[in-house]
Structures are given as structure tokens and as C-alpha cells.
């Protein structure tokens, strides 16, 4: 097959500083060893690897969408044109016209002050020379092609008025507007729930066939890659560890790192006691489940009893009126000490709203809350009706019920060092006898979550996503909680870091008797973590069962659809 894009010995480094004091950090390639692979006409090549492996830098080097301090060496040839030496005008002509990009976060890629229609029309006018009326007609047809409902009305919508999946469809429509020869899709499904992810994967595969374009698909999830790629390039620390057809890579991976990546992902099969972690698997492939399981006590005390929980939000109705929109309706469950309740569902199902309503993190003026949520402390803190507590009474409850959010960078104060971040909650709650004791406890917790003493004086931006999530967990532990609400706490992490955080959560639960409300759209992760699962749809619980019973014999069609949407790799090999 003819190569559409050929990358030969590509090396990318970033220059730090100026003049004689300048240094360089290698991001792609090591020494004289560069990255090499080809993308054939009408084929999909996937770049996979952990965060920091160099896969996104490699892709962005194709069109030089890199910072000014980036230095590229080697060769990148697109249809026999050398792109490494192409000037700004030539690259502008290529971008969007012959090579287009879809990024991970559509909200940060779409301009918030322009309508969807304006952003779709711009490349049609710029690259194809269409008039405004013809471009608007073409834009409407593009939105219809990517499956956006009511495309004519959506042209006048702003990005914030669309869901995450709809925003991603708009980005894909923009990318294919000029019928490019190559589409670069950089983690386009990472933050989406499984059903929307399935829709986006099927959409991309269908568009590739209809438009006969090639695709460079970047992901850390081999389950996704196995369903869309023809050829896979595995990267680690800026170098290619293995490349092969998708069939060979999944059925007979040669490199130990590829084998470790496949072993790290949670599966729907009976879970191991511990998930494999890359470095541990490389050292000893049989070490994944060496630690004995800690049996759950079925008669452990109930720490949280929720009955008919409901939450509504006020929506404007008419000029001065308002009406209540129910986001959560009649949710009930019991949570025992040392147990995990999984809450799963699509985006908009109400699972996060239910968790935040329990913690009273929604403004009371935003809409009414109903039902009962009784917290019974297992540490002598008494019994409390959470939804009836006054504002002043909630401060001591914050100690007992903590939350870990999806995005740890947004939930950590960027102006606080890690030490300040960990000491502040203890000072607020009056824990420990003095500052020295608080610091000693905080440092011990840092070690417990796997971070060394050097983290103490650093700031959040100096850490990776997985490390920041560990810091967020350590911050929760400083106040000795009994219940943790984990809201998509691992959904944005790559498979190895995700495995590390999930193992950490299991270890902490076994050691401290923590109870978890584990909110996720990933049923494979819930399979590893949860004892019981609630499946939510449109604000209601449609199915509730033990995790084993729910996954082996789901009763509801909606649950079956969620299970059917889980990426299973090449013919199921990734999750076998």
C-alpha cells in the first residue's frame, strides 16, 4: 500500500532557557534513535502509550502544532512533501484542508464566543472558497452527517449549550468539513461515557470509510484501539517499543511493555486482588494478584442510609416564573463500613448530582432537595440526618464525608504548596495538637499514597495527573473520613496510573475501613472496585444488584446496552 504519511527518525526536543545556559529535554526520540512509522492510504494507525510517552508530541509535530521552543529533526513526508521544512504559509494551507485534527477536550478547542455555525463556516470559506449561504448549507449537512440532532437549530447554538458528546461531534464535523486526506484524532473519547464513546468510535470508522481518509488515532486505552485501528505503534518514554498489525499485537504481543499495557486494564472477568502496574509487571509478570484478598464483612455497620433522595434545579419559566427540573428522583441505598457502592450511567444520568446532593455541595437556592440521608458514624460520632443539618452543623460532618473529583488540578489550589494543601484541613478542623504534629501526619499520608518527601514544597502544576489525584486522596485522609465520594476519580488517567490509584484505594479501604461511593461510567473499573452497583438513567435507579449478579445477568435493556458499549479490544482479546 502507498504511504500517505511517512515519519522517519523523528526526534523532538524542547529548549529550556536561552543562550549558553539553555538546555534541552528530549520528548520524542532518545539520542540518535528516532520514531519511525507509516500511515497507508485509507488506513488507521494508532499511537498508544502512557502519559508522557511522546505520542501526542509525535502527532502534533506533523503540522508543527508545537510551542516555539520545540525543535524537530528527522523527516515527515506527506504525499511526498517534506513537512519538516515547510513554511508557515504551506502549513496553513494543509491544516484543516488536507490534514485535520480532533482533540481530547472539545470545549477548550471550540471558541466559546462564536456559534457552532460560525466555527463550521470559517474553514469552508477559507479553504474551499464557498459563499456564506452555501457554507451554511454545507455546515448543516455536516452536522447531520455526524449525527447531531436538529442540525439547523444547532448551527446557532454556542458550545456551552451542547453536551460533551455533542461538542465532540461538532469538532469532528469541523475536521471533515474540507474532506481531508488524514485525520489526527488525539484522545477523542477519553472523557466520554461508554455509550457516547461507542457512538464516536462508530462515527469515526464510518466517516473514514465514506470519505476514504486515513486516520492517526492516539489513545492510552488498548481496548478502544483494538476496535478501530489497522496497525498499532506502542510508545514509551519517547521511543517505539513495538509496532504491528492490530491482530498480531493483541494475540501475540512481543514486547514486555505491550504485554504490561494489556495486563493493566480492568476487565469484566473476575477481578484480581490487585491490578497489574507497568513497572511491577515488567519486573515480574506473575506478581499481579500476590497479596491475599481481605474479606468483606457482610454484617459491617451501615454508615450511610439513603431513602428516596431527590434533587431538582430551578429553570426559568416565562418572564418572571420558574419551575423545578428533577435531576435525581427516588434514589435509595445502604452503604456499609469497608464496602463500595458503584453508581454507573451515561452522562446526564444524575449519578454525579446524587453524590453531590449527599454532600450538600449544591446551593440550596439552586433547587429543592428531598428524601433522607442518615449518616451513622462508626467512630463514635453519632447519627445525623445530612439533609436536615444547618450550615453551622455541616463543618464537623465535612470531616466524616469527603469527596475526590475527576479533575484533581481544578480541585487543588494552584497557589498552595502540597504541604499547605494537606495541613490546611487539619487546621480548620482543629485536628492534632500543634503545627508540628499536623506536618508529621501530612508527611506520613504523603508516604502512604506513594509520594516521596520531595513533594512537600512543590505546587500542583509540578505533578502528573496521577500524582495530583494521589495528593487529592491524601488531603481527604488528613481529616480521618469514614465515607469517600469518588466522582469519576480515575476516568482521565491512563491505564497504568489508573491501576496504581485503584490499587491505592483498595489498600486504604482494607487498612482504614473506608466506605466508598464510587461514581463512574466505566463498568470494568466498577467491576474491580464495587460490591454493589446502582445503574442510573434520567435521574432514576433502573437496576440495583451485587456487581457479580449485575454483570453476569443484567435485567434491564439499558444496563445491557451499557455493557455492550464497553470497548473489548481486538475481537475481545484486550478484556479476555
Q: What is the pLDDT along the chain (576 residues), one digit of tens a residue?
A: 578 999 999 999 998 877 767 788 899 999 889 999 999 999 999 999 887 789 989 999 999 999 889 999 999 999 989 999 999 999 998 998 999 998 877 777 899 999 999 999 999 998 889 999 999 999 999 999 888 888 999 999 998 888 777 888 898 899 888 889 999 998 888 767 778 788 888 888 888 988 889 999 998 878 888 889 999 999 999 999 999 999 999 999 999 999 888 888 787 777 777 887 888 778 777 665 545 556 788 889 999 999 999 999 888 777 778 888 898 999 999 999 999 999 998 877 889 899 999 998 887 678 889 999 999 988 877 899 999 888 888 888 888 999 998 877 788 999 999 999 999 999 999 999 899 999 999 999 998 888 888 999 999 988 877 788 889 999 999 999 999 999 988 877 777 788 888 988 999 999 899 999 999 888 888 999 999 999 999 999 999 999 999 988 999 999 998 888 887 776 655 444
Cell numbers standing for residue 269: 472477568
Other CB atoms within 10 Å distance of the CB of residue 282: 13
Distance CA 79, CA 210 (A): 21
**Helix ranges (DSSP H) in 63-192:** 88-94, 106-109, 116-128, 132-145, 151-154, 164-176
Distances (CA, A) of 163 to 158, 189, 226, 479, 538: 11, 13, 26, 35, 15
Q: Which CATH superfamily is domain 338-361+388-575 in?
A: P-loop containing nucleotide triphosphate hydrolases (3.40.50.300)
Which residues, listed in sequence order, are joined to residue 331 by a DSSP beta bridge?
309
Contact 503, 277 (CB under 8 A): yes
Distance CA 90, CA 40 (A): 22
Distances (CA, A) of 517 to 295, 395, 558: 19, 20, 21
Assigned CATH topology for domain 3-255: Rossmann fold (3.40.50)
Q: Tell me the Cα Rg of the chain.
A: 25
Domain ranges of the chain: 3-255, 338-361+388-575
Q: What is the DSSP string of 543-566?
A: EEEEHHHHHHS--SHHHHHHHHTS
| Residue 167: closest CA among 178, 179, 154 | 154
- CA-angle at 468, arms to 264 and 514, nearest 5°: 75
Distance CA 228, CA 44 (A): 7
pLDDT at residue 240, rounded to an integer: 96
Cβ contacts of residue 89 below 8 Å, gap of 6+?
none
| DSSP-derived 3-state class of residue 574 | helix
Contact 277, 575 (CB under 8 A): no
- CA-angle at 69, arms to 63 and 72, nearest 5°: 50
The H or E element spanning position 515 is strand 515-520
| DSSP-derived 3-state class of residue 50 | coil
Beta strands 515-520 and 483-487, pairing class: parallel
User: How close are the terminal C-alpha atoms of the chain, in Å?
Assistant: 32
Two domains, one topology: 3-255 and 338-361+388-575: yes
| DSSP-derived 3-state class of residue 319 | coil
SS (H, E, C) 407-451: CHHHHCCCCCCHHHHHHHHHHHHCCCCCHHHHHHHHHHHHHHCCC
Contact 107, 161 (CB under 8 A): no
Contact 504, 450 (CB under 8 A): yes
Contact 218, 184 (CB under 8 A): yes
Contact 14, 24 (CB under 8 A): yes
| DSSP-derived 3-state class of residue 472 | helix
| Residue 529: closest CA among 353, 339, 400, 352 | 339
Cell numbers standing for residue 546: 451485587
Other CB atoms within 10 Å distance of the CB of residue 68: 6
**Helix ranges (DSSP H) in 177-221:** 194-211
| Residue 261: closest CA among 236, 243, 286, 238 | 236
* Length in residues, the chain: 576
Distance CA 409, CA 48 (A): 24
Amino acid at each position: 500500500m502507498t504511504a500517505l504519511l511517512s515519519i522517519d527518525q523523528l526526534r523532538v526536543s524542547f529548549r529550556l532557557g536561552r543562550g549558553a545556559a539553555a538546555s534541552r529535554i528530549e520528548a520524542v526520540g532518545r539520542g540518535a534513535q528516532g520514531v519511525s512509522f507509516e500511515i497507508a492510504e485509507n488506513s488507521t494507525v494508532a499511537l498508544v502509550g502512557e502519559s508522557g510517552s511522546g505520542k501526542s508530541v509525535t502527532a502534533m509535530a506533523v503540522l508543527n502544532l508545537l510551542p516555539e521552543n520545540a525543535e524537530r529533526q528527522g523527516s515527515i513526508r506527506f504525499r511526498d512533501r517534506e513537512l519538516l521544512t515547510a513554511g508557515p504559509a504551506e502549513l496553513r494551507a494543509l491544516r484543516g484542508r488536507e490534514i485535520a485534527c480532533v482533540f481530547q477536550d472539545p470545549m477548550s478547542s471550540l471558541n466559546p464566543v462564536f456559534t457552532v455555525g460560525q466555527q463550521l463556516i470559517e474553514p469552508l470559506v477559507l479553504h474551499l472558497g464557498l459563499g456564506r449561504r452555501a457554507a451554511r448549507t454545507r455546515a448543516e449537512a455536516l452536522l447531520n452527517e455526524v449525527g447531531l440532532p436538529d442540525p439547523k437549530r444547532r448551527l446557532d447554538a454556542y458550545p456551552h449549550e451542547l453536551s460533551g458528546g455533542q461538542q465532540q461531534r461538532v469538532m469532528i464535523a469541523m475536521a471533515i468539513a474540507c474532506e481531508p486526506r488524514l485525520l489526527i484524532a488525539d484522545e477523542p473519547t477519553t472523557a466520554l461515557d461508554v455509550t457516547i464513546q461507542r457512538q464516536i468510535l462508530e462515527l469515526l470508522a464510518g466517516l473514514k470509510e465514506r470519505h476514504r481518509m486515513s486516520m492517526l488515532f492516539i489513545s492510552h486505552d488498548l481496548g478502544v484501539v483494538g476496535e478501530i485501528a489497522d496497525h498499532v505503534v506502542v510508545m514509551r518514554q519517547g521511543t517505539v517499543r513495538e509496532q504491528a498489525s492490530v491482530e498480531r499485537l493483541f494475540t501475540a504481543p512481543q514486547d514486555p511493555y505491550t504485554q504490561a499495557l494489556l495486563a493493566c486494564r480492568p476487565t469484566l472477568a473476575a477481578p484480581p486482588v490487585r491490578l497489574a502496574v507497568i513497572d511491577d509487571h515488567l519486573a515480574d509478570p506473575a506478581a499481579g494478584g500476590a497479596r491475599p484478598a481481605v474479606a468483606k464483612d457482610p454484617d459491617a455497620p451501615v454508615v450511610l442510609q439513603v431513602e428516596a433522595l431527590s434533587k431538582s434545579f430551578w429553570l426559568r419559566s416565562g418572564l418572571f416564573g420558574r419551575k423545578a427540573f428533577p435531576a435525581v428522583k427516588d434514589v435509595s441505598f445502604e452503604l456499609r463500613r469497608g464496602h463500595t457502592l458503584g453508581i454507573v450511567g451515561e452522562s446526564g444520568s444524575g449519578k454525579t448530582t446524587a453524590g453531590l446532593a449527599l454532600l450538600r455541595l449544591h446551593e440550596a437556592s439552586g433547587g429543592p432537595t428531598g428524601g433522607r440521608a442518615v449518616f451513622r458514624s462508626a467512630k463514635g460520632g453519632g447519627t445525623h440526618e445530612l439533609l436536615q443539618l444547618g450550615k453551622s452543623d455541616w463543618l464537623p460532618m465535612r470531616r466524616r464525608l469527603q469527596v475526590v473529583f475527576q479533575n484533581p488540578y481544578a480541585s487543588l489550589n494552584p497557589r498552595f504548596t502540597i504541604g499547605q494543601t494537606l495541613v490546611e484541613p487539619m487546621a480548620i478542623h482543629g485536628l492534632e495538637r500543634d503545627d508540628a504534629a499536623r506536618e508529621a501526619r501530612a508527611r506520613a499520608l504523603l508516604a502512604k499514597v506513594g509520594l516521596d518527601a520531595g513533594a512537600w514544597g512543590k505546587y500542583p502544576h509540578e505533578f502528573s495527573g496521577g500524582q495530583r489525584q494521589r495528593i487529592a486522596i491524601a488531603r481527604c485522609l488528613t481529616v480521618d473520613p469514614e465515607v469517600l465520594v469518588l466522582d469519576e476519580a480515575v476516568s482521565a488517567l491512563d491505564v497504568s496510573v489508573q491501576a496504581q490509584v485503584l490499587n491505592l484505594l483498595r489498600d486504604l479501604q482494607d487498612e482504614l475501613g473506608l466506605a466508598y461511593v464510587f461514581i463512574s461510567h466505566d463498568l470494568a473499573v466498577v467491576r474491580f472496585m464495587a460490591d454493589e452497583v446502582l445503574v442510573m438513567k434520567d435521574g432514576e435507579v433502573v437496576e440495583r444488584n451485587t456487581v457479580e449478579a449485575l454483570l453476569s445477568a443484567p435485567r434491564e435493556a439499558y444496563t445491557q446496552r451499557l455493557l455492550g458499549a464497553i470497548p473489548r479490544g481486538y475481537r475481545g482479546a484486550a478484556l479476555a
